[in-house]
Amino acid sequence: MATLQLKNVIKEFGDTHVIKGVDLEVKDREFVVFVGPSGCGKSTLLRMIAGLESATDGDIVIDGKRMNDIGPAERGLAMVFQSYALYPHMTVEDNMGFSLRLAGVSKSERKDKVLDAARILQLENLLDRKPKALSGGQRQRVAIGRAIVRNPSIFLFDEPLSNLDAALRVQMRVELARLHEELDATMIYVTHDQIEAMTMADKIVVLQGGEVEQVGSPMELYHHPRNRFVAGFIGSPTMNFLPVDFQDANADGVQVTLPGGQGCRVPVNGEELAAGASLELGIRPEHLNLDDNGPMSGKIQVIERLGGATSLYVQMDHGMITVVADGDIEHKVGDTIRFGFEPFRGHLFREDGLALESLQRHPLTAINRQANRAPADSGDDQ
Amino acid sequence: MNKPRAAGRTVGGLRPLALQAPAVTLLFLWMIVPLAMTVWFSLQRYNLLMPTMTGFAGLENYEYLFTDPALWKSMLNTLLLVGWVLVITVVGGTLLAVLFQQEFFGRGIARVLVISPFFVMPTVSALVWKNLMMHPANGIFAWIAELFGAQPVDWFSSLPLTSIVMIVAWQWLPFALLILLTAIQSLDEDQVEAARMDGAGPISIFFFITLPHLRRAISVVIMIEMIFLLTVFAEIFVTTSGGPGLATTNLAYLIYIRALLDFDVGMASAGGVVAIILANIVAIFLVRLVAKNLED
């Protein structure tokens, strides 16, 4: 069992407010990802959980015990650093067994535990090597192995894959997901890469400017972003935002006028909207369909063919819009295309950036990645 | 296009030689000629007090030298001086480097101050120590001793070699600190934090992380200091003149005594040759050690 609660955690460096009051609950065996642009405070938050950074205010509670004043070694956590932070003068075996050595564990027991961890990570053949003689991926695995050996209640990962090349990153991503299954441990993972967040997380915490923007499962964040920032941050290519005119709102949704004059009823709750409210429509590139009778049109400026899919950058009157279309379309740069979308795919954002709530939840938001686990409850922190 | 290149090629064989010549000539005049002359003088009867006795001496000078107890005494002094100064500067330098790596108010100024003894020339620092610090009547140490009602120590007569070691160590500690402080700054902060997560306290971090990280820098400090410490002269000349007796005479000072006090150029040259051989033995040993350390 390992749970973590953050209660109104604040961090200030002098006059700089790095973390502005974060509340969060991490359940046992959950894979939680902190994601956000650089400087959003996600690493600081992780380091505070680790005990490497003290909290200015608030409570950090691990397994029901307040840990603010307890040193990093006594919190029972293990951390994998972005730079791996392996000890260069020690062999892989010594690196992995260092914590046990400091704890006074006997040599034979140390060897057993290191071997167990090495087996999980396929490092048995490398135990005598020094870190210098390892590839990036191997170093990464040693760093993870060092964490496993400690048998921590919670694993902390600080952007562990950002120093690897793209192919290796995908491979390590899969391996980490497998490891999470195998170790059945609580993990907290920091990244700026929303793909890592989407693929690995049970629960994603989106941070910006030291504040939590939204907490939820990947599908929750994708289909029901709470505000414009989350909508733009999650998903690739980035969501398109179009200014639209508010017409009226009723039980079926909000009627807006699209650029180009056609109307559309987006099924979101607009009860509180005042007449003449300024709205923005958010629509993901992959939800725009090429359609000769579609309500919107524009001229193709750039085409990026990926084989399976094609990204079209289309110039409309108000600006650029991205459309992800089928890989086999034959359009060329300069063509004028028409396109549309299914109304339930649209998101509407108020002037203050908050999204209007969808009238229907997306069915996938209730389903967790792991079939045998209770779904991460969504949106309860808002 | 072709012409200048062809012209360049014809002179090509000569030009590198011509460009190297000044450096080679200078090095030759500077090193080989004195070396050859030293070796030559060491094989001559050449004593300024006995101008009539000249001619080839063979190994006679070496014979006298090696049967002279002063040689062995001065060699021992040399090794003691080098050894102790190395121990003090490396250990002290490492600890001070850790200390000066910590954040504290006025760290920049403190760093400059702690490094400043290195900028004081040896004769001056020896004079300062002799007259200001260690003087049995007016020195600060004497004053401190009297403060506690103790008998002031007459440093240069009762602890002569220790005094020299103190002075030289005081001069070279900043050098060790400077090198080690630079090295310690390149220690990856993540490693220290990983060690903290692994349960290492400050002492474990020092021995398991910091010290292994400094290994190369320490071997560089040892090598460079040894080269200079083998030839310490000014500090001895200014303070004890090698005495009392031969208590603070090292090899360099012995050669000075033979050449410029006894005017026995032949014997002094023989001592010089011995010093060169000793320095080379140390150098070979050290270069291997350092090279091995730099390799892995």
What is the chain A residue with the closest CA to B188? Answer: A85
Does the pLDDT value for residue B294 go beyond 80? no
* pLDDT of amino acid B47: 80
Set of chain A residues whose Cβ sits within 8 Å of the Cβ of B190: 81-85
% of chain A at pLDDT higher than 70:
96
Class of domain A241-366: mainly beta
**Average of per-residue pLDDT across A246-266:** 86
Nearest-by-Cβ selection for B191 from A51, A82, A85: A85
Set of chain B residues whose Cβ sits within 8 Å of the Cβ of A82: 190
pLDDT digits (tens, 9 = 90+) for A25-41: 998 889 999 999 888 88
pLDDT band at A375 (very low <50, low <70, confident <90, very high): very low
**Average of per-residue pLDDT across B198-226:** 88
Domains of chain B: 1-42 (no CATH), 59-295 (1.10.3720.10)
* pLDDT of amino acid A35: 92
Does the pLDDT value for residue B7 go beyond 60? no
SS (H, E, C) chain B: CHHHHHHHHHHHCHHHHHHHHHHHHHHHHHHHHHHHHHHHHHCECCECCCCCCCCECCCHHHHHHHHCHHHHHHHHHHHHHHHHHHHHHHHHHHHHHHHHHCCCCCHHHHHHHHHHHHHCCHHHHHHHHHHHHCCCCCCHHHHHHHHCCCCCCCHHHHCHHHHHHHHHHHHHHHHHHHHHHHHHHCCCHHHHHHHHHCCCCHHHHHHHHHHHHHHHHHHHHHHHHHHHHCCCCHHHHHHCCCCCCCCCCCHHHHHHHHHHHCCEHHHHHHHHHHHHHHHHHHHHHHHHHHHHHHHC
Comparing A230-234, B16-20, B55-59, the range with the smallest average pLDDT is B55-59
Comparing A2-6, A244-248, B47-51, the range with the smallest average pLDDT is B47-51
Cis geometry, peptide bond prior to residue A237 (ω within 30 degrees of 0): yes
Q: Which of A123-132, A266-275, B132-141 has the highest mean pLDDT?
A: A123-132
* pLDDT of amino acid A239: 93
The verdict on ipTM greater than 0.90 is: no
* pLDDT of amino acid A264: 86
Q: Judge whether B211 is closer than 8 Å to chain A, CB to CB.
A: no
* pLDDT of amino acid A371: 47
pTM of the model: 0.78
Per the model's pLDDT, the better-predicted residue between B68 and A214 turns out to be A214
pLDDT digits (tens, 9 = 90+) for A305-324: 998 899 999 998 878 999 99
Does the pLDDT value for residue B45 go beyond 60? yes
- The residues facing A325 across adjacent strands are A310
pLDDT digits (tens, 9 = 90+) for A101-118: 988 888 899 999 899 888
Class of domain A4-231: alpha beta
**Average of per-residue pLDDT across A57-77:** 88
**Average of per-residue pLDDT across B219-245:** 85
Cβ <8 Å between B199 and A73? yes
Touching A: B residues 223-282, CB under 8 Å:
none
**Average of per-residue pLDDT across A179-206:** 89
* pLDDT of amino acid B11: 53
Cβ <8 Å between A146 and B198? yes
Cβ <8 Å between B208 and A98? yes
> How close is the nearest chain A Cα to the Cα of B189, in Å?
8
- DSSP 8-state symbol, A354: B
Per the model's pLDDT, the better-predicted residue between A25 and B241 turns out to be A25
% of chain A at pLDDT higher than 90:
24
Set of chain A residues whose Cβ sits within 8 Å of the Cβ of B199: 73, 99, 102-103
- What mean pLDDT is reported for chain B? 84
The full set of domain ranges for chain A reads: 4-231, 241-366
Does the pLDDT value for residue A23 go beyond 80? yes
Does the pLDDT value for residue B95 go beyond 90? yes
> How close is the nearest chain A Cα to the Cα of B183, in Å?
15
Set of chain B residues whose Cβ sits within 8 Å of the Cβ of A44: none
- What mean pLDDT is reported for chain A? 87
**Average of per-residue pLDDT across B95-121:** 88
Amino acid letter at A138? Q
Does the pLDDT value for residue A380 go beyond 80? no
**Average of per-residue pLDDT across A16-32:** 89
Does the pLDDT value for residue A374 go beyond 80? no
Does the pLDDT value for residue A372 go beyond 80? no
pLDDT band at A206 (very low <50, low <70, confident <90, very high): very high
* pLDDT of amino acid B251: 83
